[in-house]
Each structure stands twice: as C-alpha cells, then as structure tokens.
Chain A
Amino acid sequence: LAKTTQPISMDSYEGQEVNITCSHNNIATNDYITWYQQFPSQGPRFIIQGYKTKVTNEVASLFIPADRKSSTLSLPRVSLSDTAVYYCLVGRDQGGKLIFGQGTELSVKP
C-alpha cells in the first residue's frame, strides 16, 4: 500500500482558495486517490476520488499530475465550516486496507 505524506496543518482565511498537496511516490497502477474530511468527534466523510488528471464535484477539485506521484485537493472559497482534518488515501480498498495517516488540520479564520 502506498504511503502518503501531507502537511500536518494549514491556515487560511474565509473566501480564499485552499490547496492541500499529498505526495504518494509509491502509488501502484491500480490505486485510486481519495480524500476524506473529518470534523471533531465525527466520522470522516468522503469528499472526492480520482485516478488521473482532474476531478471536480460540488465540494472540491482534485488535481493529479501525469506521474500520479502527488495530488492536490483544492477547496474553493473556504468558509469557517471548512475547518477540519483532511486525509489523503491511496489504494483500492484491498479487503479494507485503507490507511488513514495523520491528515492535514485546516484552520479557516475570519
């Protein structure tokens, strides 16, 4: 399973675009890249998933370069309610083997 590395914490202000980068140098051919969001004392929530290039949904965009060794989660115009921990995962749920690292703690300030 590919290990991921992402910043421990990030600060931003309301209305700004936030980009969180995750590196996964050992990603396998069949692996997908998935991002989750977790608020304090709640279960994580699936945000977005992609394999290559760009994926966009109503919440975020995911940018994946051609070599797939990194990915960037982009949150447009963040608000205070986007303050949470964001986890980058790489894999294909091989029997439940999703590895949640420490994640990136995003703090959005007014």
Chain B
Amino acid sequence: GAVVSQHPSRVICKSGTSVKIECRSLDFQATTMFWYRQFPKKSLMLMATSNEGSKATYEQGVEKDKFLINHASLTLSTLTVTSAHPEDSSFYICSARPRRSPGNTIYFGEGSWLTVV
C-alpha cells in the first residue's frame, strides 16, 4: 500500500526555537497533504490543507505565522513550528492524498511527537 513517512518521529526543542517536521509520500505523488494535531485524550484536529504549488489553507483558529506549511513538491510537505512554546507540545500527523486516489483514500504518516521544554 501507499506509504507516508514522517520525520522526525520524536523531537524535543527549547522554547523560542523553531522545529521542522517533514512528511513524504514514498511511493506516490500527493497532490494534497493534510496536517493534523492530536491533543491528549482528544481527537485529531485538522490544522491545514496544502496543495502542491499553492499556499496552504488553514483551519479557523490555526495561526498561519506560527505553523508554516510548505508543499514544495508532489512528495514532500513540511510543517515548521516557529517560536515554539510548551503549549505546542503535541502529536502532529500528516496525511497525503495520491494524485490518483480511488475512493478518495488518504494515507497517514506515523506521526511526530513534539515536546517543547
């Protein structure tokens, strides 16, 4: 099946620094990638949708300047958490929709645990 890889799987950073999380579709071209955040004991929250070559569409309440999303190619999207704060500590998951996606199936990465200290 289609594989989506996220890196790093775990990262610890200091408050005030920036951290980048990569999401790669390994065996397909992804026209659309999604970024989610999962709070403890809560469901996934869609942060933004990115289409290759265009600006990401952010969900209401998500700070664009804090969570920078770049979808530079059909196989790579990055999420950069800028000026990280302990409140940004969370589990971040990306997903990707293949260019040809029967039934609109999307595939998820393994997720990235971010801890801001």
A binds B: no
